[in-house]
Every structure is written in structure tokens, then in C-alpha cells.
Amino acid sequence: MIKKKEFDPLLDARRIVVKVGSSLVTNEGRGLDEAAIGEWCRQLALLARGDAAQGLQGEREVIMVSSGAIAEGMKRLGWARRPIEVNELQAAAAVGQMGLAHMYETKLREQGLRSAQVLLTHADLSNRERYLNARSTLMTLLQHGVVPVINENDTVVNDEIKVGDNDTLGALVANLVEADLLVILTDQKGLYDADPRQNPAAQFVHEARAGDPALELMAGGAGSAIGKGGMLTKIVAARRAAGSGASTVIAWGRESDVLLRLAAGERIGTLLVAPNAKMQARKQWIADHLQLRGALSVDEGAAAKLRAEGKSLLPIGMTAVQGVFSRGDVVAIRDITGAEIARGLANYSSAEARLLCRKPSTEIAALLGYTAEPEMVHRDNMVLTR
Ligand code: GLU
């Protein structure tokens, strides 16, 4: 019997979120580092193509989360010190984001890749409806081979409603798109078990379990004056990313071919392995985070497809709708005996779902005036309950 090869968190990562910090992107605040950005984009292109010469096994989907808007904006505005006023930070972000987007677009295009700017806020990731919208936009971009370049929409958020740092944003994006791997590129080689500047005996951490409380003690506080996240926010980000099954690597952004070598399985930096597999983690997330708002009854054919084949629920298999819910709420799916067979996120509200019962997906646009998705509940957003 052939033993099934164990899943390798690096080699087997198909969907990868790469986060780069402000001090790398802007060369410690001196201005956008064209060479460095060009270098990451070159590697992203080889990842997207699954270049065999690089030791890659198959194509990767890549998403960039890049900081640097505020730092670049300050440079362009001639501000030597980071402002404290929120409106000035927001203005700097607005100025700098133009440069950031332009640089990524140029460098990715040089590599034959298309790119898209996506600016997210905390609300986009915590509100269920917006969560689904952001998710389906990103998934659509990936399907079309476009590289999303993401930052926080700094211009419209203040401190209270901010994600705040892009390590956390990277983790939330990894959750959103169910990435396999989050790579946090920074100006340090990775995590030490003590501060190496103060303790010469500090040991480098090559691998640990994401979410291990001992890591947070090792990481201490504060980052650089340029960006927002220190080592601690990276450790916490790794714990969050693990919540949807993604492992995290923290590595030095100027290490040569760092992204390619990681994707080829090489251990560089600190690897924080997610303890739970992706599907299991996602199911846990649906089970833990969301309250049941309603129910959909389905016919025998649809029930069999869900149960036996793990298919999505299409409107045509739906016979009745109970409760009042919005797009993004969790609903139960019940068979003809009334027994619950699954739970999942509804793509349409209860009022819309009532109009869609027994209708083919091709009629959704005519019935509702728009089509969100052809499925009522997508299998990725569904957990079978028995
Ligand atoms: N979103 C901020 C920017 O682009 C950076 C936040 C961070 O450094 O983590 O300037």
C-alpha cells in the first residue's frame, strides 16, 4: 500500500497571501523601493505560473497585502515626522496609496500579470454581508488570474474602527480567502525566543505551532517607527490565520528568492504551523461564529447531492424558506422529513430566497434584478451536520 504523503505547509500551499511591511516597501521611509517591489513581483509571477525550474509543483494563487501608503504619502508630502492627527494620517495614506498601487501595477504588468487594488476596512471583514461580498470579489479576481493588491482603506477609517496593522489585515485576508499560507515579509529574519539585541544567547525559532501561548511571551512589544506591527502582532496574526487553517511564515523580505524557495518547501525564517486542517478550521469557524437565522427546506435530490456528493445547494432544489435572514447569515438546511442536514451561509436574503424556490439559477437575474451567485448556499460555506 502506498502511504499518503503528509501535507507540507509550504510545498503544498496553493493559495498564498504575502504581506510586506512599510519599512521594506518604502526602504525605511525613504520612498517606494522599486527594486524590492519589482523583485517580489517577479517571484509572484513565477509562483503564479508554477515554474518547474524553481522547484515548484504546480501553479499558486497569490495575493499581496502591502503596507507603505502612509510612509510613502509622508515622503511625497515632505513630512519628516509621522503625524499624530488622524486626518493628516488619512491624507498621507491617500497620497501614498496612489504611488503604491501604481508601483505594483507597473511591476506586475512587467511580469505579464494583471493586478487589482482592493482597499478593505474592518467592517468589510466583520459584517457578514460585506464579508461575503469581499470574499466573492477576491475569489473572482483569483479565478481570472488577477493578483489582488490589498491595503487597509486608511483614508476612511479612524483608530477605533481600524484593523490597525497589516499583519492582522494579512491574517484576516487569509481567513477570508481560505489561504493555505500567510507569508509575512519583514525586516527581521524571524522570531527569536528572546530579544537578540539584549540577550546574546537568544535562540532562533525555526518552527512552532501557531497559537502556542509561549510564542507571545517570546515576541515582546513594539515594532519600528515606520510601520505598525512588531513581532507580537505577527505572532497574533499567525494565530488568527491558523483559525482558518493557514500556516504562517515570518521571514526577511530581502532574502534572495524568498517566496520561491518557501513555495519549493525550503525552511526560511520562522514557520508557525496551523494545528488544524483548512476544512476542519472553516467548519469550526462557521459553527462557532454565527447564529442560526433561518432554514431552507430542500427536496430529496438536493439533499442527496449535498450529503453524498458534497455539492452546493442551488435554488432549484429549495422548496421552502423559514425565518427572516440576510445575505451572509447562517441558515439550516433541512430534508423533507424536517431533519437538519447542513448549515451554511445564505447567498440571498429570506425574501429573495422565497422568490427563488424551485427556480433554475439562470432565472435569478430576471427574478431579482441581479445575480450574486448561482448557488443559494455554496459548499465552501457549508458544514454537513449529519
Ligand atoms: N495601512 C498602513 C499603510 O499602508 C500600514 C499599516 C502597517 O504598517 O501595518 O501605510
Atom index in ligand 1 nearest the CA of residue 92 equals 10
Whether residue 92 has its Cβ less than 6 Å from ligand 1: no
Tens digits of residue pLDDT in 369-384? 998 899 999 988 888 8
Give strand pairing partners of 182. Answer: 17, 248
According to CATH, the topology of domain 290-384 is: 2.30.130
* 229: pLDDT strictly greater than 80: no
> Residue 92 is placed in which grid cell?
498621507
Q: Does 290-384 match 15-278 at the fold level? A: no
Query: Has this prediction a pTM greater than 0.75?
Result: yes
* 69: pLDDT strictly greater than 50: yes
Tens digits of residue pLDDT in 111-169? 999 999 999 988 888 776 788 889 889 999 999 999 999 999 988 887 766 888 899 99
What per-residue confidence (pLDDT) applies to 217? 83
Whether residue 152 has its Cβ less than 6 Å from ligand 1: yes
Portion of the chain with pLDDT greater than 90, in percent:
67
| Angstrom distance (rounded) from CA 353 to CA 209 | 42
- Sole residue written with cell 484593523: 163
Q: 165 CA distance to ligand 1 centroid (A)? A: 6
| Angstrom distance (rounded) from CA 2 to CA 353 | 47
What per-residue confidence (pLDDT) applies to 383? 86
* 212: pLDDT strictly greater than 60: yes
Tens digits of residue pLDDT in 263-314? 999 999 999 999 887 776 667 666 665 678 899 999 999 999 999 888 999 9
Read off the pLDDT band of 320 (50, 70, 90): very high
Q: 83 CA distance to ligand 1 centroid (A)? A: 14
Tens digits of residue pLDDT in 330-371? 899 999 999 999 999 899 999 999 999 999 999 999 999 998
Query: Can you tell me the mean pLDDT for 182-210?
Result: 91
What per-residue confidence (pLDDT) applies to 325? 93
Task: Tell which residue, 274, 187, 277, has the closest CA to residue 239.
Answer: 274
Whether residue 228 has its Cβ less than 6 Å from ligand 1: yes
**Top mutation candidate among 157, 165, 185, 187 for ligand 1, by most atoms within 8 Å of CB:** 165
Whether residue 233 has its Cβ less than 6 Å from ligand 1: no
CATH number of 15-278: 3.40.1160.10
Read off the pLDDT band of 224 (50, 70, 90): very low
Q: Give yes or no for a contact between 171 and 74, defined as CB atoms under 8 angstroms apart.
A: no
Whether residue 67 has its Cβ less than 6 Å from ligand 1: yes
Atom index in ligand 1 nearest the CA of residue 152 equals 1
Identity at 208, one-letter amino acid code: A
User: What are the extents of the domains in the chain?
Assistant: 15-278, 290-384
Atom index in ligand 1 nearest the CA of residue 97 equals 4
Whether residue 347 has its Cβ less than 6 Å from ligand 1: no
